[in-house]
Amino acid sequence: MAIESINPANGKLLRHFDPLEDEAIRQKIGLAAEAFEAYQSVPLEHRALCMRKLASILEHETEDLAIIITEEMGKPLHTARQEVLKCAAACRYYAENAARILTPEPIPIDGNDSYVRWDPLGVVLAVMPWNFPFWQVFRFLAPALMAGNVGLLKHSSNVPQCALTIEALVRRAGFPRGTFQALMIDSRQVESVLNDERIAAVTVTGSEPAGRAVAAQAGWLIKKSVLELGGSDPFIVMPSADLGLAIETAVRARCVNSGQSCIAAKRFIVADEIYDEFESRFVAGMESMHVGDPMKDTTDIGPLATASIVDELETQVKAAASAGARILTGGERMVGEGNYFEPTVLVDVPRTSVVYREELFGPVAMLFRVTNLDEAIRLANDTPFGLSASVWTHDSNEQQRFSRELQCGAVFVNAMVASDPRLPFGGIKRSGYGRELSAAGMREFLNSKTVVIAQPDIQHP
């Protein structure tokens, strides 16, 4: 597989990289292993100092870094700026909170001095996607480095410049050589890297097939793994909701990152008594989205990251229509250069259709009408995925039932789903396992080591 940076707005090749040869890969893994031996003993205060410097560099060079992101994967420049600043916020969060998260937990037992301490595992391989080419990496990088682990990054093959830029940023921030390296390898080389005994664990964010392959290998090798895979998040609107705010948020939630987000709302489940108004205004909102040059701040939706993504989305929409779904707006790739697809709304998607159970990774929404709360919950859970959900209701009983009964990793009530360094992030079912971010994310790649120090009996005269 070619490792190439291609501008999705015009199809022009920006840079080409040859995959590393086996010996070069072994040398990089060796450097990482050597770095870990020394780095795990670096005082936490020094790691925090480097992490804060990394945050400062991100903040001061936001514009240049955002341009790299936009040119390489196509998201609107104003959202790329937000992504860079979010990475800086994650760095600062872990710099400020790592000491609290890593503090040994005392567990008094029978008068002994007993506690749980948190030790780093070693070299962690991160297989990361293209859709948030900085954020996906930094939400692994920041907690891993603060915990004393070191990282090897296998980034998506269409964002190699982002990968190399992040590696350079880490070095400029003062982290020791070898603590974070980008591997210019293709997906076929991941197996040999993970097989190396010096790799302690692996984290994957990406497609279900990629997650299955890596998880199966990691399981065979008995190595820790974390998977953050796809999603088909429900966006549920009940009669008590603030309908105007719900519709405005629904359009943004479907079109975030040009629709290329695992936590973007994809299935809109609306109560019957407000459905018609929701459908009419939602379609109008989707049609108002400005599709165009990602370098312009007036653009809402940029090109999709690769031509193959457009092909797949087009195939899915046509399959839905063939199965009986109606297209209320959009439904076509856009003519001209670049990987553009029209904002699209589908209704009457049959439960028996293949598309009903697939993830739509682009600005395509599916609308469903329900008659009551029970039906809304059943429909929301009728998916192989379980990442997150956004529910809109001011009824406290409905809020409690949604929070309790929806099968997913996160429920946002009267709010759009978003990742935040302070909150655990991850899913269930075929959306993966394990958590990123917060204390939970940091501890995924730590050894919770039990320590018991027996106290001698004190003999009294």
Question: How many alpha carbons lie under 13 Å from residue 378 in its C-beta half-sphere?
Answer: 8
The candidate with the shortest Cα–Cα distance to 428, out of 386, 380, 379, is 386
Q: Which residues lie closer than 8 Å to 66 by C-beta, 6 or more apart?
A: 77, 80, 81, 83, 84
Q: How many CB atoms lie within 10 A of CB 109?
A: 11
87: annotated active-site residue = no
Residue that is written with structure tokens 């529910």 in the block: 391
Q: Residue 329 forms beta bridges with which residues?
A: 345
Phi/psi region, residue 148 (left: phi>0; alpha: psi -120 to 50; beta: rest), is left
Determine the Cα–Cα distance for residues 419 and 426; give it in Å rounded to an integer: 9
CB 353, CB 326: distance < 8 Å: no
CB 339, CB 304: distance < 8 Å: yes
Hey, what are 329's tokens? Answer: 């707006």
Q: Which residues lie closer than 8 Å to 92 by C-beta, 6 or more apart?
A: 51, 52, 55
CB 433, CB 95: distance < 8 Å: no
262: annotated active-site residue = yes
Catalytic residue (choose from 71, 262, 358, 359)? 262
Looking at this protein, which amino acid is placed at residue 89?
A: A
* b/e sequence 421-440, b meaning 16+ C-beta within 10 Å: beebbbbebbbbbbbbbbbb
Catalytic residue (choose from 83, 167, 228, 279)? 228
Catalytic residues: 228, 262
